[in-house]
Structure 1
Amino acid sequence: MKSHKITGGGGIQLHLVETGNSRGRPIIFIHGFSQCWRAWSRQMSSDLADDYRLVAMDIRGHGLSDKPRQGYADSSLWADAVNAAIQALRLDHPILCGWSYGPLVILDYIRHYGEDSISGVNFVGAVTKLGSDEATSVLTPEFLSLVPGFFATDVEESVRSLESLLRMCLAQEPSAEDLYLMLGYNVSVPPYVRQALFSRAFDNDDLLPKIRKPVLITHGANDAVVKPGTVEQHMAGLAHAQIQMMANAGHAPFWDDAATFNQRLRAFSESL
């Protein structure tokens, strides 16, 4: 795998990892809250790499990307990050695949840059709004009970909450090796970044009906973070979207059942 450092919105350095077929259709993977590119390891190391150019980015404040104290509330800076990846790596009409918080970043990009430079979108366990009662209503009470701990500066409390989050994301108990790798990159995100991500207040109700490029909505039937019924809300604004409800999968279906997820992503790409 190749590592890249590119300049994103506001001049910060963003870290991306690339693998796969350099002449294949690009897919950009955008991880969720407090994660990093390694969340997509079961895609990056899969047979998708035989046919597709796979790029996974560490979003602002995460992984090996810069972690500034400011700029997380600015929609244009999130949009600039995705545009920077497309331009710097010369990605020809990529599919944007975002998990959980990642779809918010994708929608920031579409709001500021439009759809002309992408070929399609895959929303995975998605939220599309933040900072309102309506936005909170799609999140489970169990997840919401963990939120104060995400912002804690006390290390033990922070680690406890993040470990609970990881277990909540997965349909099955992870191996000790996987759990501690995941916990490591979750803990590396500073509490001020986690709080800033949750401090945004906006929705995309105006934008969703305007999207014309193909959309695939993937959701785990056993998602314990974002309620599976949220898919119906997405469909209200994205009537043309394809729906994939994954049985025996939780909030991270690309991890719980990578083979099925990858097969469906491949089929979606081939249909474009």
Structure 2
Amino acid sequence: MEDNIVDIGGLFLHVVQAGPATGEPVILLHGFPDAWFAWQKQLQALAEAGFNAFAIDQRGYNLSDKPQNVINYTTDVLVADVLRVANHFGISSFHLLGHDFGALISWQLALHHPERLKRMIIVNVPHPFVLNKFLLSRPTQMLKSAYMAFFQLPYLPEAVLKLNNWKLLTSQLSGRLTDAQVEQYRAAWAKPGAIKSMLNWYRALKWSRQGGGDGSVKIPTRIIWGKKDPYLMHGMAIESVNFLEKGSLYTLQEAGHWVQHDEWEEFNRLMLEHLLM
């Protein structure tokens, strides 16, 4: 794996590349509270299959720059980051994997820039139209998403998350992570300005567009969903398929929110199967 620091117009993003430069490009987008290393097993699998894979530390995270103003984290800005990284490496079109917030950005890329995408894999975040519907009309989902309202508060979320060596955040991670991997997370969260920037992704949602047109996605898309996700109802995954012109849903019954860790072997099989079609 190779580390890169990419200048995308005065903002510097850390990008890890794996696989042959001649391979088809794949961009991987992590969510909260992850970083590029959330995809380590997938990077290895993609490289071995001959893909040229790029896992981005998205802005605000780990080794990438961390602008502090909330407005720097709207979805339009975050989508532009991905396209500028692709442009930096001379990539005109690419496969895309997104988990959590990375999946939200992936949906936006598919809706607004479909010409840049080949195939897409979405992991445990529904289509934005479906998410908005459930947040407004389903009490169960409203309760599951209550933490998002807490994250809107100034200062307090940062203080709470730092308590007891990041106990609250580490308790939410996949149980399949090693102690060394958990320490890697703690080190990323502790970087100056990181936790505020990470939370600003949530705070910027009220200024972000969440869809495009009728919401139909033309890119061949596979949704991989952990059935035991404590934050998001499985019904949203089922309804999201209705927006896919060429799509499928695979539910992993024993996986939680971090599917790529919880059942990484099956996840990698489904990932490669879709990308090699």
Is the 1:140–1:226 contact (alpha carbons within 8 Å) kept by the matching residues of 2? no
Q: 1:256 aligns with which of 252, 259, 262?
A: 262
Q: 2:183 aligns with which of 155, 180, 186?
A: 180
Is the 1:61–1:193 contact (alpha carbons within 8 Å) kept by the matching residues of 2? yes
Equivalent pairs counted in the alignment come to 267
Q: Which amino acid aligns with 1:261?
A: F
- 1:30-57 CA-partner distances (Å, limit 9, x unpaired): 000232101111212x332121111100
Report the Cα offset of residue 209 of structure 1. 3.4
Structure 1 residues 69 and 181: CA distance shift in structure 2, 3 A? same
- 1:207-254 CA-partner distances (Å, limit 9, x unpaired): 573321101101111112222222023123225321111122111111
C-alpha distance in structure 1 between counterparts of 2:237 and 2:94, whole Å: 24
1:29 maps to: 28
Is the 1:146–1:165 contact (alpha carbons within 8 Å) kept by the matching residues of 2? no
1:246 matched to 2:249? The reply is no
1:231 maps to: 237
Bigger mean CA offset, 132-141 vs 208-217: 132-141
C-alpha distance in structure 1 between counterparts of 2:60 and 2:167, whole Å: 19
Q: 1:167 aligns with which of 162, 168, 171?
A: 171
Structure 1 residues 152 and 191: CA distance shift in structure 2, 3 A? farther
Structure 1 residues 38 and 23: CA distance shift in structure 2, 3 A? same
1:57 maps to: 56
C-alpha distance in structure 2 between counterparts of 1:75 and 1:149, whole Å: 17
Report the Cα offset of residue 133 of structure 1. 7.5
1:192 maps to: 196
Q: Which amino acid aligns with 1:65?
A: S
Structure 1 residues 25 and 139: CA distance shift in structure 2, 3 A? farther
1:47 maps to: 45
Structure in which a larger fraction of residues adopt helix = 2
What's the Cα RMSD here? 3.0
Q: Which amino acid aligns with 2:76?
A: S
Is the 2:20–2:51 contact (alpha carbons within 8 Å) kept by the matching residues of 1? yes
- 1:77-99 CA-partner distances (Å, limit 9, x unpaired): 21211111211112353111000
TM-score, length-scaled by structure 1: 0.84
2:146 maps to: 144
Gaps of 5+ in 2: none
Q: Aligned runs of 1:90-109 on 2, under 5 Å?
A: 90-91=90-91, 93-109=93-109
TM-score, length-scaled by structure 2: 0.82
Q: Which amino acid aligns with 2:60?
A: G
Is the 1:32–1:102 contact (alpha carbons within 8 Å) kept by the matching residues of 2? yes
Gaps of 5+ in 1: none
Q: Which amino acid aligns with 1:243?
A: L
